[in-house]
Amino acid sequence: MHKNYDVIVAGTGPAGLAIASALSREGLNTVCVGPKANQPWEDNICAWADEIRPLGLDKYCDKIWPKIEIIFGENSSKVLAGAYAHFDNRKLRNALLKDIKETIAQETVTVAHDSKGSTVTLKNGDKLKAIMIVDATGHAHRLMEKPKKEADSFQNVLGILARVEKHPFDLEHMILMDFRSGFLGKKNHPPTFLYAMPFAPDLAFFEETSLADNPGVPFDLLKERLHQRLEHMKIKILKVEKNEEGALAMNPVVPDLKQRVIGYGLAGGFVHAATGWSVARSLAQSGPAARLLAEGIRAGTPPDAIAKQTYKLLWPPEILRMRKIHKSGGEFFTKIGLKAQIQFFKLFFSFPGTMWNTYLSWNSTIMKVNRSLISR
């Protein structure tokens, strides 16, 4: 089979569907290809509510907590000025799929370029041709140049969505970090904390999280700690509704910006080096990136030039500079213990106004952080 498109998007995760949906809305003949094209997304997807509300994406959330709390110790906590959003994966995925005319449940294997476009070969031998190619295959980086340096620090998480008799958390508060570790005695290394999303008086997501470590904290240890912690808090689990386990590479590499294939989402180095997130950015940049690709394709601009313009949009100098700062911050956490992490966060979250969410936002820049500190 040999078919022609304007754009082929490889990958059907949040990034692939976000950009394929935006390209389709621009009127481009777009196909989205991935072995899991017909499968739901399993992991929790969250974002700062401030980042998704202006895009009208809050309607795809099943819960928005108006407050975010950090618990530093038994008698020390802080409620931040900011809201936290949890996506309803099914709603978001369906909304994006609605715009996409064609998906193919296949793996992409290779790509070959010529002056007019590219040919992608699928695992079943089919060949697809398009003017532009977007690689949103996550860690696989299947069609783009593999980033030179692999990530060397990992945020490992192990969580459960559980029906419980009751839990102590306020339903209005999302618990970003609960550092209480008394139940561990002196054996509190490596540093981990609880991340908790209370959905109802008897339903909550509890996740033991290691912020960044190299090598990543073993999942067995995270599981043991999570259950010890819940037992210590007298939270009785009635039923585990869902398990989540994952390693987020915290040292994402900016792709080679001179290549023809556009790296997007996790594959494109979008992961925020301080939070480990990428989905809000994939959603936010899909419209502007699709518009630029559509303009280039309609004007008959050579594919290499369209790729160059698109990378310029995705990676302006101020975002590249900020990436270096976020990365050095992330590396710092692999070297310090629990006490120092708590001290750091007490200070970090004591800065005025909107500094913390400006720094942790996907489109954070040095200028914006400075401005947020001045405009108390």
Ligand X SMILES: Cc1cc2nc3c(=O)[nH]c(=O)nc-3n(C[C@H](O)[C@H](O)[C@H](O)COP(=O)(O)OP(=O)(O)OC[C@H]3O[C@@H](n4cnc5c(N)ncnc54)[C@H](O)[C@@H]3O)c2cc1C
Q: Which stretch binds ligand X (CB under 6 A): 110-118, 124-132, 277-285, 305-313?
A: 277-285
Beta bridge partners of 64: 85
Tokens at 104, concatenated: 């193919």
Judged by CB under 6 A, the residue of 10, 23, 144, 283 near ligand X is: 10
From residue 299 to residue 338, the character string flagging contacts with ligand X as x (rule: CB under 6 A) and all else as - is ----------------------------------------
Kindly state the smallest distance separating residue 108's Cβ from ligand X, in Å. 4
Question: 154, 330, 155, 321: which is closest to 254 by C-alpha?
Answer: 321
- Nearest residue (CB) to ligand X, 202 versus 244: 244
Using CB under 6 A, pick the residue from 12, 30, 181, 364 that binds ligand X. Answer: 12
Among 29, 35, 319, 353, binds ligand X (CB under 6 A): 35
d(CA 300, CA 198): 51
Phi, psi for residue 265 in degrees, rounded to 5? 70, -145
String of contacts with ligand X for each residue 148-167, x by CB under 6 A: ---------x----------
Binding segment toward ligand X, per CB under 6 A, in 36-44, 145-153, 189-197, 368-376: 36-44
Rounded to 10 degrees, what is the CA torsion of 282, 242, 107, 295?
A: -20
- Considering beta carbons, is residue 43 or 88 the nearer one to ligand X? 43
CB nearer to ligand X: pick between 12 and 334: 12
> What are 158's strand-pairing partners?
208, 245
Check binding of 248 to ligand X (CB under 6 A): yes
The only residue of 33, 70, 176, 261 in contact with ligand X, by rule CB under 6 A: 33
Closer residue to ligand X (CB): 106 or 341: 106
Chain position whose Cβ is nearest to ligand X:
13
15 sits near ligand X (criterion: CB under 6 A): yes
Q: Binding residue for ligand X (CB under 6 A) from 137, 156, 310, 357?
A: 137
- Please, are residues 252 and 269 in contact by the beta-carbon 8 Å criterion? yes
Close Cβ partners of 372 (under 8 Å, ≥ 6 residues apart): 353, 354, 355, 358, 359
Which residues between 42 and 81 bind ligand X (CB under 6 A)?
43-47
CA dist 342 and 193 (Å) reads: 10
Helices and strands (H and E) in the chain: how many: 10, 17
Nearer to ligand X, 23 or 47 (CB): 47
Q: Which is nearer to ligand X, 80 or 373 (CB)?
A: 80
* Shortest distance in whole angstroms from residue 118 CB to ligand X: 14
Got the DSSP string for 169-223? --TTEEEEEE---GGGTT---S--EEEEEEEETTEEEEEEEEEEESSPPPHHHHH
Q: Which is nearer to ligand X, 110 or 350 (CB)?
A: 110
Number of amino acids touching ligand X (CB under 6 A): 35
Beta pairing partners, 56: none
Which tokens go with 113? Answer: 């370029």
Q: Which x/- pattern, by CB under 6 A, does the window 335-364 give for ligand X?
A: ------------------------------
Phi and psi at residue 143, in whole multiples of 5°? -105, -15
CB 71 within 8 A of CB 175: yes
Q: Where are the beta strands (DSSP E) in the chain?
A: 2-10, 30-33, 46-48, 61-65, 67-73, 76-80, 84-87, 102-104, 108-113, 118-122, 127-135, 154-164, 173-178, 193-200, 203-213, 237-249, 262-263
**Which residues would be at the binding site for ligand X (CB under 6 A)?**
10-16, 33-36, 43-47, 107-108, 136-138, 140, 142, 157, 244, 246, 248, 265-266, 276-280, 282
